[in-house]
Amino acid sequence: MTPDPASAAAHRPLAGRHAVVTGGGKGIGAAIAQALARAGADVTVMGRSAQPIADTAAGLRALQGVRAEAIPVDVSDEASIDAAFADAEARLGGTSILINNAGQSEGIASLDTTRETWDRLLAVNLTGAFLCAKRALPAMLAAGSGRIVNIASTAGLKGVPRIAAYCASKHWLIGLTRSLALEFARAGVTVNAVCPGYTDTDMAQRAVQRIVTTTGKPADEARRLIERSNAFGRLLRPQDDALADGEHLVPELHRPLQLLLRPGRRGGRLSSLRESAARRYQNSESKQRCQPPPLQSIRWFPHGSNSSPAS
């Protein structure tokens, strides 16, 4: 029986898109990369450690049959970001989807937080996300469409003791998300944030160990304390934060894109944005590969106790 092309497209709605996932070697980032690949996207997995990102990319190629590349990056270093994105674009074309997942946390009392710790967490969690978005946006604007998703945290929605730098960085990341969303919506680029609670990753395990060290509580009791801070009463799984599939993470593609444009203003600002981006991108070696079909719709993320759209 001949496969139905429409049915195949429905099962792989992100086919032809290039997704970049930072911090993609393990945990939430790896789960997101898998979700995007299942939806048909080609994926660049970025991260500091070469082996985990290589393993993730190899798994995507083997299990999902998509193109997948592993490219090391230090998101606290602008030169490293520029080099990584240039390499990714040369291999897979312009970025259609950016997942800013790279992040660090330190559990330490505010009066013991050094300037080095403060600067490092902001550099990774906030400035890195901004610089990656800045690097991905020209191709998105030239194509007239794009999706940016920042992985924030419930710590970006409330105060949490003993993680002041992390908490501040995630609050500011949500503010950045809202600002970028308003700035680029008319150009067909949506920017959102996902705010997970404690997730069963290395970061959560370090949080358990910090509680053990600072309070003397047994590890199982420390873990229960963290679990109770989540609405579900348990640690989330990385695949929960990936929202199960790529269409949820970067909204579905079967409906027309709805943009809030005032009557009589459709041409000016949107056209100038696209033309400006196209001029900036004109000298790129991958310019011919940076025009994927426009993403065709936007949809809010599913509402849940531990995820929140921020736009």
Q: Catalytic residue positions? A: 166
CA–CA gap between residue 231 and residue 253 (Å, rounded):
31
Do the Cβ atoms of 282 and 50 come closer than 8 Å? no
Cβ within 8 Å of residue 79, ≥6 positions away: none
Furthest C-alpha separation in the chain: 68
* Residues counted in the chain: 311
- Can you spell out the DSSP letters for 69-90? EEEE--TT-HHHHHHHHHHHHH
Q: Which phi-psi region, left, alpha or beta, contains residue 112 (left: φ > 0; alpha: ψ -120 to 50)?
A: alpha
Tell me the backbone φ, ψ of residue 242, rounded to 5 degrees: -75, -5
Tell me the β-bridge partners of 51: none
